[in-house]
Every structure is written in C-alpha cells, then in structure tokens.
Amino acid sequence: MNKKHYQLLLENIKVALGAIRSQWLRAILSMLIIAIGITALVGILTSIDGIKGSITSNFTSMGANTFTIRNRGTNIRIGKGGKKPKRYSRVTYREAVSFKESFVFPANVSVSAVASFAATLKHASEKTQPNVNVVGCDRNYFGASGYEITIGRNFTEMEERFGTPVILIGSEIEKILFPGTIEAVGKEIAVGAHKYKVIGVLAEKGSSMSFGGDKTCMIPLTNARQHFLRRSTSFAISVLADNVVSLESAISEATGTFRVVRGVRAGEENNFEIVRSDNLSKMLVDNLYEVQIAGFMIGIITLMGAAIGLMNIMLVSVTERTREVGVRKALGATKAFIRLQFLVEAITISILGGLFGIVFGILIGNGVSAMIGGGFIIPWLWITVGVIICFVVGVISGIYPAIKASNLDPIESLRFE
C-alpha cells in the first residue's frame, strides 16, 4: 500500500467515524447486533476451555506420572461409541505384594483396596452421612494417589505391619465430626463398629467433579483386611514414577513384571488393566470437542443473523444519505471512493461491536469457568478468530450497500428529498 492509498483509507476511516458519531443511536444498535453474536461465540468457547482446564486439573491431581494396575478398566462410557471395559479375575493380596516386592523400577509402589463405599463415622454426638469412602492402604498410598497430609502424620511401619487401629480423615469429615476449634488429631472415632485413633487430616481436594475427594478416610491395609475386606476383594496397585518422562518405561516394566506374577504366558493377552491417572480426563476432554464444534456453529449462526441485520441498517443508511452521496460525487468523489467509504463504515461498526462482544464473552466465559472451579482464561485464539470474523461480517454486510451507494446518479441524488 503506497502513501496515497494509505491516506485515502485514513480519510475514509475518519469519514466513517464521523458518520457513526452523527448517527450514534443507529451505530450503537448495529454494534449491539454484532456484540451479541461475538459474545455468544467467545463466551461459549471460553466456557468450554474453562471446563477443559477444570477437568484436567481435577483428574491430574493424582499426578501426571501415576498409573494403577487393576482387574478391570474404568467403568465409565461416554457417548454411543463407548466400550464396556473388560473384567478379569481379581488381583489378590498375594499378587499385589509379590509385585511390590519384585518391581525394581525406580518408582513408588502402593497396594490398596476400598474397604467401604458407604461408611458412617462417629465422634461423640456427631456423625457423618453413610457416604464415606474407607480405603485400606499402605504408607506409600498418599504420594501415589495425590493426597497430602496437612495435619498430623502418615502411618508408621509398625502400624502398617500390625494393623494398628489408626486413621487419616478427609477435610470434610473433620469439619463434620470436629466442629469449631476441636482438634481432630489424637481423638478416637468409630468407623462402623470399630474404633480408630485419628493421626492425621488430609488436605482439601474438593468435590467439583462429584467424586467426594474430601469424604474419604484411610486405615492401614492390614487392619482393613481384618475388619472390612472379603476374600473376593480385588486389590489395586498404584505406581508413582519418578517423573513424567519415565512413565512409559515404568508402565512397560510394570506390565512385564505383573504378567510374570500372574503367570501370563508369552503371546497371551494381559489379564489385567493398567489405568493411567489422566485417562478419564482425556476421555472427557475429547468428548468436549463435539460440544466445542456445536458452540462454534451456534456462534456462527448468531453472527449470520447479525450480518443480515447490519446489512439492512447499512441499506437504510444509504437511502437516508442519498443526497450526501450526490454532493460528494458533485465535488469529484469517484465511485471507488464512495464504495470504500460505506464499506469502511460497515467494517468499523462490525469491529467495534466485536470488541465489545469479545470483552463480554470473556467475562461470561470466565464466570462459568469460576463456577466450576477453573482459572481465569484469556482465549487469545478466540479473540483472534472473533476479530477476523467481525472483519468478514463487516465486508459481507457492507459490500452490497457500498456498491448501491457508488452507483447512485449524482443528479438524481441531489434532487432526493
């Protein structure tokens, strides 16, 4: 673009802004039409990005470098294409311990089992609802499962070995059983018919994904085997690799080791499942792709309506400014200049409306993200896409009115009332 063309464009932008100021009500209504469309587009897509971030954050709280060996896969199917997970013979306590002793890869290995999904915990006159998860585990479980101990301590080796009746409780259980300033550590609570001494409180994990992470308590695995677990119980083996880079190697080594433990012959399929900590989050995020496409299409359809509305307003503007066009042509304005003037005006209105829509869309999208526990997001991709779409909408909406204005006869235009 040479200097002459640049000056011409700058002059047309000034004329367009002048026309917008002189017809501010019409301009505001035009901008509002575009803003609503862009708000829908950016708001929906920002919300989806926030949901993705929340899902990833919640499901990777166990750590991106962990995996679990179980007798079945994750029993969650999403959409019609989901497959029912295979179920194999249970992982026995002897197999789990044998794996833990023979796994030589540098990693943290833990053996655990769910003792109860619906336990009631009591202390004095306070008690929980019958919806507390009781997990029997060893000392390594907390690192491998993503739980942290904020108050108190972990199991000792002796407590783990002899099944001492000690317990670590979730933060929500602490609030229910020990309201106010009552200290939980050192107190005795009842889990069903058995008494346990509280030795620690777990850090708050939150329940935004409806898994009740803070309604969980842990007891030594040996104790759980004595009082809760049945002979048919299947144990889970959690492995925490030293880092994400070595995760694949750890999984390969664990697969080979557990095949030997379970006596799987060469050439036979594994009779167990290895579930990575991020498997479910990937499943959910992948299914959000379709929602994202739907959101994008909704935004585009809304903007198509906005483009039609803007074109209609620009055609009205051409009719009302017919005399102005005649004066400009009489003073020497060319068809190209008139055409560019109206086109720039439509693009300016569209982009200004789009900028307002982007701001509103970011606020709405992040509002939804905050409601589900996600962080603040600045969707640079959708901001860029929004600006480009606004430019395209401005061109589409303004091209026909601009051509109509440029083709007006100057003499007839001057006579127009």
Taking the whole predicted model, whether its pTM rises above 0.85 is answered as no
Q: Using CA atoms in the order 43, 45, 46, 51, what is the torsion angle rounded to 10 degrees?
A: 120
Tens digits of per-residue pLDDT, 193-222? 899 999 999 988 754 443 456 889 999 999
Contact assessment for residue 134 and residue 217, using Cβ atoms and an 8 Å cutoff: yes
Going along 235-297, which residue ranges are E strands? 236-241, 273-276
Say if residue 168 is exposed, middle or buried (CB neighbours under 10 Å; 0-12, 13-18, 19+): buried
Question: What's the pLDDT score for residue 24?
Answer: 77
Instruction: Find the Cα–Cα–Cα–Cα dihedral 291, 297, 301, 303, rounded to 10°.
Output: 100
On the question of pLDDT at 321 being above 80, the answer is no
pLDDT in tens, 278-310: 665 666 666 677 777 877 787 788 778 878 888
Which candidate, 1, 245, 12, 206, places its Cα nearest to that of 107?
245
Q: Count the Cβ atoms, other than its own, within 10 Å of residue 223.
A: 24
Q: What is the pLDDT of residues 35-79, one digit of tens each?
A: 888 888 888 888 877 777 666 665 555 556 788 899 876 554 445
Query: Could you tell me the pLDDT band of residue 393, with boundaries at 50, 70 and 90?
Result: confident
Q: Which of 154-168, 344-358, 367-381, 397-411 has the lowest mean pLDDT?
A: 367-381
Identify the residue whose tokens are 């926030």: 50
Q: What are phi and psi of 202, to 5 degrees?
A: -85, 150
Helices (H), 60-184: 93-102, 141-145, 157-162, 171-177
- Could you tell me which residues are beta bridge partners of residue 217? 134, 169
| Least confident segment among 4-13, 206-215, 335-344, 383-392 | 206-215
Q: Percentage of the chain surpassing pLDDT 70?
A: 83
The torsion angles phi and psi of 348, rounded to 5 degrees, stand at -60, -45
The CA–CA distances, whole Å, from 105 to 183, 242, 248, 255, 308 equal 40, 10, 12, 12, 65
* Residue 201: per-residue pLDDT: 94
**pLDDT the model gives residue 210:** 39
Provide mean pLDDT across the span 177-190.
91
pLDDT tens digit string along 326-342?
Answer: 777 777 777 777 787 78
Contact predicate 401/308, CB 8 Å: no
How far is the C-alpha of 205 from the C-alpha of 173, rounded, in Å? 13
Residue 42's pLDDT is what? Answer: 83
**Distance separating alpha carbons of residues 190 and 219, to the nearest angstrom:** 12
Q: Which residue has the higher pLDDT, 224 or 361?
A: 224
